[in-house]
Every structure is written in C-alpha cells, then in structure tokens.
Amino acid sequence: MCGIVGVTGTQEAASILIEGLKRLEYRGYDSAGIAIQRPHGQYVVKEKGKIRNLEASLDWNELKGTCGIAHTRWATHGVPNRDNAHPHVAGKIALVHNGIIENYAALKVQLRKKGRVFSSETDTEVLVHLIDDLYDGDLVTAVQKALALVDGAFGIAVTHADEPDLIVGARRGSPLVVGVGDGENFLASDVAAVMGHTRQVIYLDDGEMVVLRPGSVQTMTISNEAITKEVQEITWDLGQIQKGGFEHFMLKEIFEQPTTIRDAFRGRTLPDTGDVKLGGIQLTDWELRNIRRIIILACGTSWHAGLVGEYMLEEYAHLPVEVEYASEFRYRSPIIEPGTLCLVISQSGETIDTLEAMREARRRGAKILGITNVVGSTIARESECGVYIHAGPEIGVASTKAFTSQVTILGLITILLGRRGHLSADRGTQMLKELDRVPDLVQRVLDQAERIKDIARVYANHHNCLYLGRGVNFPIALEGALKLKEISYIHAEGYPAAEMKHGPIALIDENMPVVFICTKDSAYEKVVSNMMEVRARKGRIIAIATEGDTEVAQRADHVLYVPPSIPMLQPILSVIPLQLLSYHVAVQRGCDVDQPRNLAKSVTVE
C-alpha cells in the first residue's frame, strides 16, 4: 500500500504534492519522490525515508511547474532506497504506482532483450519501460496498450515531458480518486491528499482510466470506451479518511483482511500443478526436499501464527516442527542439526528477541527463512531467503491483518514443501482453490460486525475471560486472549480445551466468560463435551461455530458463525470474530484501541 498524488493546474505543483504526500504517509513511509513537468523535461527527486527527507533535499527553485506527480512508498519489491523509490522514469515518461505487477519478471526479460536497462529492483520500473516501449506520440494509447499486457494490481499516475500539463491515471485493484477543481485537477490514492483543494471527487473503479488536464477530466475504460462518472462531495474530515471512515486503525485493518489475504497469495499460486512460487525463497528443489526439521521463531501474535504453521507443516508437509518463543530460544542451547530450516516470523522485522534468536540459530547452522511485512527491515536483510506478507502498513499496535497474512504465507510454504514430499498435485490444487475462496469467506464473517458489537456489550464489564480450543484452534484461543488483553486490559487466558480440567476449570463460575472455538473438525465432539463441563458450572459461553451448527447454539449463550473451510485455513476465519470482539469490548471500556497502554508496535528493546 503506497500513496500517489498528482496535480495539473495553474498553481505551483510542488507544494501541493508535498502536502498531499504528508496526508498519505500512513499508507507507506519508507521512501518518497516527486516529478515536476518543466519546459525542458521533468525534474525528478527521490529520497529514502519519510516525506521530510524528500522535502529537505528539494531545490525549490528547480521545482517551478504547475503539473506533477508524487509518491510515498510501502516497499513490496526492492528494499527502501532512492533507486527503488518512485517516480520511475523511462525516456521522457515518469510513473508512480501503488500495487503489485505480478508478471513483471517475464515482461522484464522481454524488455531486456530489446536493450532496456533497469536501475531498480522494482516491478514498477518494468511498467514505465513497457509504456515507453509502446509510446508513439500519444501517452493515453501507450498506457492502454501496456496495461493490457500487465497482470496484477495497480493504481498509477503517468506524465510525459512532451505532453506538459497531462496526467494519465488508471486503476485495477488499487484505489484511485480524481479531485475536480476549478482550472486545476488532482489524482490521488485517497481523498486525504486532495481535500485541502477540493471536495468534489470522482472515484475510479477497476479497469477505469482518467486523462487530466487543467481544464478537463476525461474518463474511459482501459480498453478505451468513454464512460461518464458521477462527481461526489467529500463529507469526511482528514482523520476519518486516513482511517478509511473507520473509528480506529485497528478496525480499518480488520476490515482490510479480504484484500490483504488476497495480496498475500497474489501471483504466488500455481493451481495447474497444485504448487506455489515464492520468488524470495532461493532454495533448490533438492535443498527443499532435504529439509529435515523446522524451527519457528517469533514473539506475540507472530508466535501464534507459528503455532498454526506447525499444524499445517506436520499435517501436509510431514515435517517435524518446533515453535519457539524467540526470547527463550536465544538463551537455551538449542540443538541444530544439518537440514534444519528456521522460519523467523515478525510483522515489523525489528523485534529484538526474534532478531537475536535468528542470529543464534544461524550461528548454529540453521538455514533462515524470514517471513515479514516490512521490506528492508533488519530481519528481512539478515535472512538468507524470505517471503514478504504484503499486508501494507499495520498502524494499530494490536496486530490483526498481519496475523491472517502470516498464516496465509505459512499455508503457501506448507504447499511448497509438501509438493516436494508427499503432497499430490490434486491435493495441492484443492488447497489452492480453497485458499482462493478465503477472502470472500472472511468478508462473510466481517458482515456480522454489528452483532459482535452487541455481544461485546454484554461482556465489556467482566474482569476475566478464558479462551479454549483444540488442535489448530488452540493457537486461535491464544490469539483471541492476547487481543483482549492488550487492548481492553481484561485478564484473559487461552488454553487447549482439554487442559481446562487440569486447573483452569476452578476459575469457572457465572462471572467467567468462556470463548470456545468449536468449528466442525475432528476434535468437535470433544470440544462440545468441554462446553458441557463449563455449562455445568454456570460459565457464560461464547462459541465460534461453523455455519449451520445448531447443536452448539443450544449449549452457548452467544454463537458467532464462520463459514466452513479446510482445517488448515479455518483458523483464518475463526480469528476474525475474536478480533472484532476484543475491539468492541475495548471501545465499550473507553480504551485507546490504536495506542494501548504499555505497548509498542515494534519491541526493539529486550
């Protein structure tokens, strides 16, 4: 998720663009750049880091011009540095992009054959070279031809030095909005960047383009059919917009999950062969086949994702797995034999306990595969190979979308290793088909948000809560309890349901809410018996159950239904109601949901 802004009009563009970027900084903040149209070509400046770094390196005398585009980056392909920052330039064309070009590697090979030279690691630079390669005096046509060859998601803004006050924009899968002004027009990833200048906007839909000049706005499809778009009035304030109309970043990030889960596996699945391709894993099939043991290192929510990964890898890749608290692992004397692969999971990529545990494992001979959300983070840089989860910036301290994307990536790694072992192509294809359904199934769970809010009201004043699940739902019980603890300050514990009888059952009475994750799987009947044990002691029960399961409804005070999926992917669905429940309980209790007390988004101290 990056931020794009463009303007063509009568005012000096540079200050408008810089102001717009600052309002989009929550979308990405690892590098930024600007391109201003001037009589003798475009003036392009790019800088690593926050907008203020770019601002500091600008020569405002050089920035005279009333048309330009700008970008703030959240890296997906290529570490945060000046070369990988946008705008990317080819010939006289400058381009800024938000999204992922899935087939960029194949296009790059063809363009290289035509003598094209690339100066960055990005997928985006391939697109600007493709447009330049197809350019024949008309930028709109060149963009249309190029986009017809592109797979993946994009929101782009493009300028050409020979067409000085023109900006061409297009979208598929990434947001783009036009700001309609008086003698000036704007383009941006969201209205936050334009609302200082106009409240008249046009929302582009997938497959649509816009041609902007100071006095005109033309909209058409990427296949060049003219379309008429409605101009709408912005009624929100800035804070609301940056949160996408949600009250908190955490809630926005919970609702982003249908998109972020799809972005996690976008361009990485090979349904025909039931396999996956993970470009960042530079291991040969021989090396993958000779992995003998997996150690997962992580902290907090990432550790819970690792526990789900353990079930997947043992079940479908037949590999022995240990999930270690990174903070404990680094001070033990772990035995690392040849053939040990270490999966190091960290949203931020900077958590010191995880980083040091990774270094310890490597010191002892393990191969390191990093799974992180932040491109160029320390864990990413120090891992031999890795996979980015592509969840976009996660602002809320309580991790939500990163968790479901981590589990999705662990699913892909399970298929990668399984297909080089016992997993058949058919089975792999089935799993990928199921994975492709997950984003829509998650949306079905999110549609129950209002009902979950009502249930939260019932439990908001309790002081304790127990979360119970069996098998792959045990880690989800742990994750649900962690979410409630960290944002509502209610003491909560997650437990394997069968363990309840060995102690925690003593806590059960009419004041102890118990959340059961009891979706239909091989442990279902056993979990229902555990529910009866709680019922017998007057415990209040909230059940996460499979759609259509009326039996559980008779045994629980409240039931939240999730659609069925295969066991390996069910945790992605079962965690959503728990995220929403903890969110609404915290809001009811007046807690600062995005910045909970005593917590940091990235724990970089021991």
Give the residue, chosen from 31, 37, 219, 346, that forms a contact with ligand AGP under the rule CB under 6 A.
Answer: 346
The pair phi, psi for residue 540, each rounded to 5°, is: -90, 130
Does 399 sit near ligand AGP (CB under 6 A)?
yes
User: Shortest approach of ligand AGP to residue 157 CB, angstroms?
Assistant: 32
Output the CA angle 406-408-414, nearest 5 degrees.
105
Does 300 sit near ligand AGP (CB under 6 A)?
yes
Q: Is residue 186 a contact partner of residue 178, using CB atoms and an 8 Å limit?
A: yes
**Shorter beta-carbon distance to ligand AGP: residue 193 or 380:** 380
**Shorter beta-carbon distance to ligand AGP: residue 24 or 358:** 358
Does 593 sit near ligand AGP (CB under 6 A)?
no
Token pair of 561 as six digits: 């239904």
Say whether 282 sits in a helix, a strand or coil: coil
Does 486 sit near ligand AGP (CB under 6 A)?
yes
Say whether 306 sits in a helix, a strand or coil: helix
Selected catalytic residue, list 50, 145, 453, 601: 601
Does 348 sit near ligand AGP (CB under 6 A)?
yes
Does 299 sit near ligand AGP (CB under 6 A)?
yes
Selected catalytic residue, list 2, 67, 518, 591: 2
Q: Tell me, by CB under 6 A, how many residues bind ligand AGP.
A: 15
Binding segment toward ligand AGP, per CB under 6 A, in 38-46, 50-58, 73-81, 344-352: 344-352
Beta-ladder partners of 599: none
Token pair of 204 as six digits: 């582009």
Q: Is residue 72 a contact partner of residue 24, using CB atoms and an 8 Å limit?
A: yes
Token pair of 379 as six digits: 């864990």
Does 594 sit near ligand AGP (CB under 6 A)?
no
**Shorter beta-carbon distance to ligand AGP: residue 85 or 586:** 586
Binding segment toward ligand AGP, per CB under 6 A, in 298-306, 357-365, 434-442, 527-535: 298-306
**Shorter beta-carbon distance to ligand AGP: residue 188 or 407:** 407
Is 485 part of the annotated catalytic residue set?
A: no
**Shorter beta-carbon distance to ligand AGP: residue 43 or 249:** 249
Task: Quote the CA–CA distance of 319 and 324 in Å, as a whole number.
Answer: 16
Task: Quote the CA–CA distance of 573 and 260 in Å, as a whole number.
Answer: 14
User: Shortest approach of ligand AGP to residue 105 CB, angstroms?
Assistant: 28
Does 309 sit near ligand AGP (CB under 6 A)?
no
Give the residue, chosen from 79, 288, 507, 603, that forms a contact with ligand AGP under the rule CB under 6 A.
Answer: 603
CA dihedral 586, 592, 597, 602 (to 10 degrees): 100
**Shorter beta-carbon distance to ligand AGP: residue 71 or 304:** 304
Say whether 400 sits in a helix, a strand or coil: coil
Binding segment toward ligand AGP, per CB under 6 A, in 68-76, 239-247, 393-401, 491-499: 393-401
Nearest residue to ligand AGP by CB is 300
Task: Quote the CA–CA distance of 408 and 388 in Å, as a whole number.
Answer: 11
Residue that has been written with the tokens 């000096």 in this structure:
12
DSSP sequence for 135-184: -SS-HHHHHHHHHTT--EEEEEEEEETTSTT-EEEEEEBS--EEEE-SS-
**Shorter beta-carbon distance to ligand AGP: residue 346 or 574:** 346
Q: Is residue 104 a contact partner of residue 59, using CB atoms and an 8 Å limit?
A: no
Beta-ladder partners of 157: 96, 169
Strands (E), 29-77: 31-38, 41-48, 67-73
Say whether 98 sits in a helix, a strand or coil: strand
Beta-ladder partners of 3: 72
User: Shortest approach of ligand AGP to residue 594 CB, angstroms?
Assistant: 12
User: Shortest approach of ligand AGP to residue 485 CB, angstroms?
Assistant: 10
Task: Quote the CA–CA distance of 161 and 92 in Å, as a whole number.
Answer: 5
Does 327 sit near ligand AGP (CB under 6 A)?
no
Q: Is residue 265 a contact partner of residue 406, using CB atoms and an 8 Å limit?
A: no
User: Shortest approach of ligand AGP to residue 413 CB, angstroms?
Assistant: 17
**Shorter beta-carbon distance to ligand AGP: residue 257 or 351:** 351
**What string marks each residue from 80 to 109 as x (binds ligand AGP by CB under 6 A) or -?**
------------------------------
Binding segment toward ligand AGP, per CB under 6 A, in 83-91, 297-305, 330-338, 529-537: 297-305
**Shorter beta-carbon distance to ligand AGP: residue 131 or 477:** 477
Binding segment toward ligand AGP, per CB under 6 A, in 87-95, 119-127, 165-173, 300-308: 300-308
Beta strand 513-517 with 540-546 is: parallel
What Å distances lie between residue 370 and 333, 389, 407, CA to CA? 21, 10, 14
| CA-based nearest residue to 70, from 52, 96, 47 | 96
Catalytic residues: 2, 601
Residues at the contact surface with ligand AGP, assessed by CB under 6 A: 299-302, 346-348, 351, 354, 397-399, 486, 602-603
